[in-house]
Structures are given as C-alpha cells and as structure tokens.
Amino acid sequence: MMRNDETNDERAETLRLLKESAAAFAANESPLTRARALRGAQPDFAPAFWRKLAEQGWTGLLVHEQQGGFGLGFAEMAAVVAQFAARVAPEPLVPTAVFAARLLQCCPEGELAARLLSTLASGDLIASVAWQENAVQTDPCSVQTHAVPDGSDVRLSGEKRFIRPGTACEGFIVSALAKGDLALYWMPCGVAGLVVETELQADGSRAARLRLDGVRLNADQCLARGAAAADALARAFDETLVMASVELLALSRAMLAMTLDYLRTRVQFGKPIGSFQALQHRAVDLFIQQELTSALVAQAVSMLDGDAGVKERAAMASRAKARASDTALTIAREAVQMHGAIGFADEYDLGLYFNRALVLSAWLGNGLVHRRRFAAQNPLRSTVAA
Amino acid sequence: MKTNSPGDSKIDWNALDNETFRGEVRLFFEEHYPSHLRYPKTRLRWHQIRDWYLTLSRQGWIAPAWPVEYGGMGLSPEKLIIFIEENERWGVGRAPDMGLNMVGPLLIQYGSEEHRREYLPKIIAGEHIWCQGYSEPNSGSDLASLRTEAVLDGEEFIINGQKAWTTLAQDATHMFLLARTDKSVKKQQGISFLLADMNSPGITVRPIRNIAGHEEFCEVFLENVRVPKTRLVGEINQGWTIAKALLGFERITLGSPKQAQYVLARLEELAVTLGLDQDAGFMDRFTQLRLDVADHAALYARFVDQVKRGEKLGPDVSILKVWATETFSRLASLMVEAVASAGATVGDVEFFGRHADILTSLYNARPATVYGGTNEIQRNIVASQVLALPS
C-alpha cells in the first residue's frame, strides 16, 4: 500500500502530521457528550459528522487515487481510526471506510465497484458488508445464502446478521453462493424481498439483520464471483479485523488511563487507593495486556502494509482481534471494579467505553471465535519431531 | 570445520552482515555442542558443561558481550541478540555463568585495574567459577535488609553471616557478595560489594535439595572469613548501587519467550500423541496459551529492537519477565493436567511408544517466577515507576 516514491522518513512525517490533525479534530469536534447524545438515536451516528470526516479526506484514505481517494496505507488509517475510537465516536469509519471500501477495492475491475468506491470515498455513500450469518462463524467465505438465476437476473435468499452500520446505510455488499461459488452483490436498501431489522447493541448503536426472500438483482449487480470474490472478502475481512483491533486498543488505553487517574486520586482510609498493593498488581496486569496488544497490533498493521501471504495474514489478523477483544473486555471489567459504584453509573464516561468495547469485541468474531479460527487454520503438527 | 584460534580473535564480528554472522555461530554450535546436553532439564553442573565452556573459550566466544580488550567478542547489541538467539535455538545449556554475565561486566565497569587483570582472564579461561552471594535466609525480596557483615580489620575485611539460595555454589571457586559495612545508615547505604575466594578458611557450602530432588542451590556459611581490603569493588558502602546496575539486561534475558516456546512444542507433540488435538476443551485452552506465547514474542521483539538501537531499557521491561514466566508456568500446568493419571510420574513417561517428560517444566516454572526479583516485586516496580501509582 505504501507509495514507492516516498521514503520511510517522509512517511513517518506524514504519519505524524496525520495523527496530530486527527487528534486535534477529534478533540475539538467529537467530545464525549456527542457520543453520549447519539446513543439510541436513529440513525445511530451523525451523517453531518460523516460529511466532515469526508471533507478531511478520511473516508477515502485507503481508496486508490483513481477512485478519488488518497491511496494511503493502513498505518495512516490506523492513526485516524485510533483517534476517533478514543472519543467513542459512533461513525462507521472501520465498517465503511475500511471494510466496505477495501472489499470494493479488491473486487476485480468493474464499473459498478469503481463507481461505488468513488462515491464512498467522497462521503456520499454509506455501505455495509453483509457477510455474517451466525454468531460463531469463523470463516467469512462459508455461506448459506444463495443466488439462483432468474432470466438475466438473480434471486437471493437467506439471512444476514450483525451488520454494522445497521442504520443510515444505502446498501449492502452481500455474499451468497451462486452455483456453488461464492459471489458478492451490491444490494441497495429498499429492494423488494429485503427486510431489514435492527438489533440494539450495548453502546446504543444498531446492527442490521437482513432477511432476503427472493431479492431480485440484475446480474450486473454482481461485484465478484468465484476465487476473486473469496480472495477479496478474505483480504478485506482480515484487514478489518486489524483495524477493529486498533479501535479496541484505543478503548483499552483510554479506560486504563482513566482507571490509573482514579487510583492516584481517589482517597479512602486516608490514602490514595492506588497505594494499595492489591490494586497496584491488578493495574500492572492490565498494563501487561495493553502492551501485549499494542506490540501485536503494531506488527499486524505493518504486516498489512507489507506483502504477507494469505495464511500469515489471516493468522496475524485473528491473533490481533482475539487479543485486542479480550484485553478491552478485561480492562473494561476491571476498570468498573476499581472505580467502584461510580464506574457503574451511566453519568460517568467509563460506561461509554465499556459498552463500545462490548460491541467491538463481539463484532466480526470475539476472542474465542478468532482463537478457533487461528487453530483451525494452523492445526497441530501431525508429524512429531523425534 | 572452521575454528578461530585465539590468535585470530581480532576478527571484527560486528563488520559481518547479520546473516553471515548468524550462519557462523549456528554452524559452530551444531558441530561442536554435545548433543546429549541439548535442552538440559536441569541446570548443568560444572563437570558436565566444562568441556563446552573450554571449547567456547578456545574459540574466543566465551564472552560475547565483553569488550575485545578483555578477551570478549565485543559484539554490538544487535549481534549479541543473534548470538543469544542461536544459543536458545540449539538448546545450548547454561554454564555457571555468573562470572561472565555478572561479575565480569561489573568489574569492567566498577573494578580496579588490578581486579580486571587478576580476574577477567581467569573467567575467560574457565579457571574461576563465580557464584552470587546476595540472598540470605531473612533477606529475599527485601535484599537490602541483608545482615551478613564485613568489618574492616587493618588490611582485611572479616566477614560473618550466611548466604542462601546461592545457585551452584558447590561448583564455584569465587563468590561476589553483598555485605553490611555500616549499620548506622539507611539500609541501602551501608552495603559493600566484595570478592571472596571460596577456599578461604571459614566458608562452608551446604547444597540444598529442591522439591524436584536436585541440588542446584546452596547455603553458604561465612565464619570469620578474611578478605583482603583490595577485594572491595567500588567505594565502601556503594555496593547497592553497583548491584542494581546489573538488573537491566538481566530482566530482558529473563523475559525471553524461549522457555515457554520449548514447553509449548513439547505439549504440542504430546497432544498429538494423546489425540487431545481432537478435544475441543483442551484445544481452546491450548490455543489460548499458544497465542499467549506468540503474542509475547511480539512484545519481546519490541524490547529487543530497543536494545538493538542502543537505547537503555526502562523499568517497563519488567512486564516481559512477568508474562514470560507466568505463561511458562501455565503451559507447564496444562502439560501435567493433560496427562491426568500420568501427571505424577517422574522422568520420561511412555505413551503409545513415544516418550515425554511431564514434570520437569512444572518444577522449573517454580523458581522462574521467584528468581531475578519475584514477579510480585516486578509488579511493584512497574506500579511505581511506570504507572506512577502512589506509595
């Protein structure tokens, strides 16, 4: 992804500037009061804020220049994503500007994908990827939804679930089996035969649940099929796992920092509670998890900007998502405990992070699912060394 | 076979490219290290590892980290890491290395010219074997409370006291020790660093059998032991500062993922042998540990890169030791649990015609979370020095 005409130093400088501008923007434009106010809203994020993100160029950061994007790498995207995750911003940067964008980008050259991509990059299209069918699915390419030919059209039937963003999106990239091959279609909202329901998530956002009952799509709505579709989905899925891990790490850092502040300042028995060894040791264990996650996520991001093989990429992506998910949940739980009653109060901001951590750790598969995916793809050596 | 006599030990190893250097080291280990000593289950005694020590000494490789002028290889941090990685890769056993890793570097930094002339060549030659006299029966984690006392009497110190948990003291010719030289000041400020000959009258060594049945550590009694004043390292009452100077690099060594990686590989073989790879319950736990080890390697690499860039390690390096040893311990426990009723059988245990040692790791994991500063002490360090939690 990294442009060849740039040296490492130049890239580091670009990265630093990007991070600073995203940090300043997020701090000024996305206070926690904004995230708090959007909980349970319809749609569950602010389209006007999405527009501002697009004006900064962040919705098209990963999109190639031919489609109106910036063609930057994952390190750059991670720098932006982390800043908004740290503010619990509800806009779908990772689901749309990473998952949908990268999936469209990885589809074979086609007029439809290119058009969708450039509208997405400019902020004029919110798209979601509808790949998942059951809660414990480990393989994004294994689907039950099927597409049957009907003249020059296809008819799609099946169910999709846990789709983010679930509100305000204009269409879905949906996966289905067509004559035994995986295929990806562009399915606009509002087509006949499509029922969109939403399931309320812990952070006040809504995940879409789709029921497709013979949804009729023109054959030219097909974005990719066969190996090309499977490769594109697997790649975009792995890339999204890593970017979701970046978000989870940002949440973990924010929650641990809040907790350490609290431990330093909350006084009981005449002392700051952070002077008690029982709490100090627990805080260190959380720090260890944060640092393991940080080292791993950094490796995973630089892997995406390099040229890892498919197997290595999947292994690293699942490792990152598993560790980042479990770390965020562990820190979230311990943060509430160490804060005591105030940690459980909705008025206190820790809860915003707690609830977002629940959503992001569950999304695309939690720690358990990704450890199982890793194990399935990396079986124990059947030949035992002497 | 390529050997370098000490005569051509002036090779500038740092000038080689990394892969050439790695290749040379690897080849030498593979050709010369005794195969029956690979991945030893317990600490090797001097009589077992002596020949290898002398082989390395003749090769000019016994002190990779020391400057060339003192007989070392003078490796850069980057090359040193490669040297250590190749040791670990080939399962090269640890020799009694307190001279090489602790007292040697310390004398280079704080010793007198006489100390360096007298001791360093004999460490290189394998004539002097050192042990570390720090812990005492009543001074473990609170090491600075130590009570072994050295009183100056003319040109000699007279030492009285008792050291404990002294690793391989029974093989040592010399001991570097911390002794109290001033009882009237704050405990850290009244300690001196001394060098003693183990043959001195008044020193008695009694090996202590551990729960695995081995004698790897000892009690050392010091009764009116006379040590020349010239064997004081640094200034009087500056021993604590000198002892602390060594802790940095030790903590990254203690935080290596190799021990856990080794048990993980053994547990993987065992799981296949026993068909546990078909057991979902076992596999969930095994995969968790597998990733605990893999992810630790990512964190370790971050600290190694810091060393390679020549940066000083901060107190956060303590987290490596905690995670490395606790992951090792969890793996060792799963190994014992996995074999159920065979989990108490000593030595190599036979399963379907294959053999596996079950208990060694469980035993080795016990001191791992204790020595080099207990994991609780490491957590204290991180809490106060990294997380800035109040005391």
CB contact under 8 A, B391 and A299: no
What is the separation of C-alpha A351 from the centre of its chain, rounded to a whole number of angstroms?
Answer: 20
User: Which CATH architecture fits B130-239?
Assistant: Beta Barrel (2.40)
pLDDT at B44 over 80: yes
Phi, psi of B206 (to 5 degrees): -125, 110
Smallest CA–CA distance from B381 into chain A, residue: A284
**Where in chain B are the domains?**
6-95, 130-239, 247-385
H or E stretch covering B387: none
Return the bridge partners of A174, or none: A130, A185
Q: Is the dihedral of CA B75, B78, B80, B82 positive or negative?
A: negative
Percent of chain A with pLDDT over 70: 97
Which pLDDT score is estimated for B247?
Answer: 59
In CATH, what class is A129-225?
mainly beta
pLDDT at A386 over 60: no
pLDDT at A385 over 60: no
Q: Which residues of A touch B390 (CB under 8 A)?
A: 264, 271-272, 274-275
Q: What residues does CATH 1.20.140.10 cover in chain A?
A: 229-377
> Based on C-alpha coordinates, what's the Rg of chain B?
22
Mean pLDDT within B187-192: 97
Select the residue from A292, A369, A372 to test the B interface by mutation, using most B Cβ atoms within 10 A: A292
Mean pLDDT within A1-22: 81
Say how far apart CA A128 and CA A92 lie, in whole Å: 9
List of residues 6+ apart from B333 with CB closer than 8 A: B362, B365
Of A275, A381, A385, the CB nearest to B391: A275
Mean pLDDT within B274-299: 96
Q: Which residues of A touch B319 (CB under 8 A)?
A: 284, 287-288, 291
- Which long-range contacts link B51-55 to residues 24+ away (Cβ below 8 Å)? B52/B92, B52/B93, B52/B95, B53/B95, B53/B126, B54/B126
Say how far apart CA A318 and CA A295 lie, in whole Å: 15
Q: What residues does CATH 1.10.540.10 cover in chain A?
A: 8-125
Instruction: Report the mean per-residue pLDDT for chain B.
Output: 93
Structure tokens at B159: 């030492």
- B250 included as an active-site residue: yes
Say how far apart CA A332 and CA A253 lie, in whole Å: 10
Which residue in B24, B149, B156, B250 is the catalytic one? Answer: B250
The single-letter DSSP state of residue A96 is: I
Peptide linkage before A43 cis (omega within 30 of 0):
yes
CB contact under 8 A, A372 and B287: yes
Single-letter amino acid code for the residue at A63: V
pLDDT at B266 over 70: yes
Distance from CA of B32 to the nearest CA of A (A): 20
Say how far apart CA A78 and CA A83 lie, in whole Å: 9
Of B291, B379, B391, the CB nearest to A319: B291
Say how far apart CA B194 and CA B231 lie, in whole Å: 6
Say how far apart CA A304 and CA A239 lie, in whole Å: 7
B38: alpha, beta or left? (left if phi > 0; alpha if psi -120 to 50): beta
Which pLDDT score is estimated for B2?
Answer: 43
The pLDDT-based confidence of A166 (bands split at 50, 70, 90) is very high
Evaluate whether A146 touches A213 at the Cβ level (below 8 Å): no
Say how far apart CA A201 and CA A306 lie, in whole Å: 35
Which pLDDT score is estimated for A6?
Answer: 65
**Considering only CB atoms, which residues of chain A are within 8 Å of chain B?**
260, 263-264, 271-272, 274-275, 277, 279-281, 283-285, 287-288, 291-293, 295-296, 298-299, 319, 322-323, 368, 371-372, 374-375, 379-382, 384-385
Whole-number Cα distances in Å, A314 to A99, A238, A239, A369, B49 = 15, 6, 9, 13, 44
Phi, psi of A20 (to 5 degrees): -65, -45
Q: What's the pTM value of the predicted model, to 2 decimals? A: 0.93
Say how far apart CA A268 and CA A104 lie, in whole Å: 55
Say how far apart CA B231 and CA B239 lie, in whole Å: 12
Q: Encode burial over B291-323: b for 16+ CB neighbours within 10 A, e otherwise.
A: bbbbbbbbbbebbbebbbeeeebeebbbbbbbb
Asked whether the ipTM of the predicted complex exceeds the cut of 0.95, the reply is: no
pLDDT at A2 over 80: no
Mean pLDDT within A340-364: 98
Among A335-344, B252-261, B347-356, whose mean pLDDT is lowest? B252-261
Could you tell me whether strands B348-351 and B354-357 are parallel, antiparallel, or unpaired per DSSP bridges? antiparallel
Say how far apart CA A38 and CA A45 lie, in whole Å: 6
The pLDDT tens digits for A263-285 are 999 999 999 999 999 999 999 99
Mean pLDDT within B207-215: 95
Evaluate whether A203 touches A90 at the Cβ level (below 8 Å): yes
List of residues 6+ apart from A35 with CB closer than 8 A: A87, A88, A89, A90, A352
Evaluate whether B64 touches B124 at the Cβ level (below 8 Å): no
Q: What is the largest CA-CA distance in chain B?
A: 73
The 3-state DSSP class for residue B116 equals helix
Say how far apart CA B193 and CA B51 lie, in whole Å: 31
CB contact under 8 A, B387 and A368: no
For A31-152, where are the E strands, in sequence order? Answer: 127-130, 146-150
Distance from CA of B297 to the nearest CA of A (A): 9
Mean pLDDT within A228-233: 97
pLDDT at A3 over 70: no
List of residues 6+ apart from A250 with CB closer than 8 A: A81, A82, A83, A85, A86
Distance from CA of B163 to the nearest CA of A (A): 29
List of residues 6+ apart from B291 with CB closer than 8 A: A319, A322, A323, A371, A374
CB contact under 8 A, A292 and B299: yes
Say how far apart CA A70 and CA A353 lie, in whole Å: 30
Looking at domain B247-385, which of 3.40.190.10, 1.20.140.10, 3.20.20.70, 3.20.20.60 is its CATH number?
A: 1.20.140.10
Could you tell me whether strands A271-272 and A206-218 are parallel, antiparallel, or unpaired per DSSP bridges? unpaired
Q: What residues does CATH 2.40.110.10 cover in chain A?
A: 129-225
Query: N- to C-terminal Cα distance for chain A?
Result: 43
Q: How many CB pairs under 8 A join A and B?
A: 99
Mean pLDDT within A293-316: 96
Select the residue from A255, A277, A280 to test the B interface by mutation, using most B Cβ atoms within 10 A: A280
pLDDT at B5 over 60: no
Say how far apart CA A341 and CA B334 lie, in whole Å: 37
Could you tell me whether strands A206-218 and B149-153 are parallel, antiparallel, or unpaired per DSSP bridges? unpaired
The pLDDT tens digits for B141-155 are 999 999 999 999 999
Whole-number Cα distances in Å, B38 to B28, B83, B342 = 14, 16, 25
Closest CA to A76 of A52, A96, A93, A51: A93
Evaluate whether A200 touches A206 at the Cβ level (below 8 Å): yes
CB contact under 8 A, A296 and B299: yes
Mean pLDDT within B182-201: 97
Which pLDDT score is estimated for B7?
Answer: 44
CB contact under 8 A, B376 and A281: yes
Q: Render B262-329 in DSSP notation, one character per residue.
A: HHHHHHHHHHHHHTGGG-HHHHHHHHHHHHHHHHHHHHHHHHHHHHHTTPPP-GGGHHHHHHHHHHHH
The pLDDT-based confidence of B251 (bands split at 50, 70, 90) is low
Smallest CA–CA distance from B299 into chain A, residue: A295
User: Which CATH architecture fits A8-125?
Assistant: Orthogonal Bundle (1.10)
Provide the CATH number for the domain formed by A229-377 in this structure. 1.20.140.10
Structure tokens at A228: 């090309």
CB contact under 8 A, A384 and B354: yes
- Residue B104 sits at the vertex; the CA angle it makes with B129 and B260, to the nearest 5 degrees, is 80
Which pLDDT score is estimated for A208?
Answer: 97
Instruction: Report the mean per-residue pLDDT for chain A.
Output: 95
What is the separation of C-alpha A45 from the centre of its chain, rounded to a whole number of angstroms?
Answer: 15
Which pLDDT score is estimated for B285?
Answer: 97
Among A213-227, B20-34, B248-262, B300-314, whose mean pLDDT is lowest? B248-262
CB contact under 8 A, A280 and B271: no
pLDDT at B83 over 60: yes
